[in-house]
Amino acid sequence: MTTEAADTTEAPAPGDRTPLVELDAVSKYYGNIRALEGVSLEVHAGEISCVLGDNGAGKSTLIKIIAGLHQHDAGTFRIEGEDTRLSSPREALDRGIATVYQDLAVVPLMPVWRNFFLGSEPTKGVGPLKRMDVDVMRRTTHAELLRMGIDLRDVDQPIGTLSGGERQCVAIARAVYFGAKVLVLDEPTAALGVKQSGVVLKYVAAARDAGLGVVLITHNPHHAYLVGNRFVLLKRGTMSGSHARDEITLDELTRQMAGGSELDDLRHELERAPEPDLKEHGDAP
């Protein structure tokens, strides 16, 4: 009688997914200044992780660590489960992390297609006849923008003539085209009106639906709650909260973002004390 060896390989637990990017108790110091202290964040494929905080909360430092501009001083930074210390933004791009900053780093007078391929231009020909393949860049830019739902009639127009929301969407489509796995967005709706903010959030959701892990940096809890799956709140470089979407309501997220108990204390301080009843003391005329 023959016996077969039992298969001892453990099947992965249901829902057990390795994050595309994971920060575990990450800290960053500039001399004696604490920029970040013990911040944790997970970014999963097909999800949007929102980082909320006011100015000075540490959002910019967090972006710089993920984007490879700065290295963390303590804690662990993992990319797809591997402990990592990024040495440059180019290395971050090579590892699939694309960052879209608030200023977008576009050349306003150049056409849309030129900005779409800026720094990664395809070429044709050889030797002294080698030149940019403009036709391919035009066609690809139009097709990729259309795939994201952005129908530009003319990709030859200067990108500076587009609205702020449209420029953000071009940057998002570019990151998707060049193979980003993780998309970090630095306050993409900060300088936009309600309608343009809605357009940008639509394309943020499209990037999520394309399978990217998105990190949305914002100070607007309403925008975050519209698209977010996870929320990390920063305050003076430390985490003041971390919640999954089903663990918190918009009202509570807004309250925590606004200061929570500190806001309640301020409200009590600002309430006007009741004026004394002068008639009761016989001081009325």
User: What letter would DSSP give residue 151?
Assistant: -
Q: Is residue 124 part of a domain?
A: no
**pLDDT value at position 265?**
61
Range of the domain at 55: 21-110+165-265
Q: Is residue 237 part of a domain?
A: yes
Pairing of strands 182-186, 213-218: parallel
Q: Are 176 and 207 in contact (CB under 8 A)?
A: yes
Q: Is residue 232 part of a domain?
A: yes
**pLDDT value at position 12?**
40
Q: Is residue 176 part of a domain?
A: yes
Q: Are 43 and 21 in contact (CB under 8 A)?
A: yes
Window from 7-11, 78-82, 215-219, 258-262 with minimum mean pLDDT: 7-11
Q: What is the pLDDT of residues 239-272, one digit of tens each?
A: 988 999 999 999 999 988 876 655 556 566 666 6
Q: Is residue 74 part of a domain?
A: yes
Q: How many independent structural domains does the chain possess?
A: 1
Pairing of strands 33-43, 21-30: antiparallel
Distance set, CA 53 to CA 60, 187, 191, 218 (Å) = 10, 11, 16, 7
Q: Is residue 170 part of a domain?
A: yes
122-151: average pLDDT:
88
Q: Could you tell me which residues are beta bridge partners of residue 209?
A: none
Q: What is the pTM of this model?
A: 0.79
Q: What is the pLDDT of residues 34-90, one digit of tens each?
A: 899 999 999 999 999 999 988 888 898 999 999 999 999 999 999 999 999 999 988
For the chain, give the mean pLDDT. 84
Band (275; pLDDT cuts 50, 70, 90) = low
Give the separation between CA 39 and CA 76, rounded to whole angstroms. Answer: 10
Q: Is residue 126 part of a domain?
A: no
What CATH number is attached to the domain comprising 98? 3.40.50.300
Q: Is residue 89 part of a domain?
A: yes
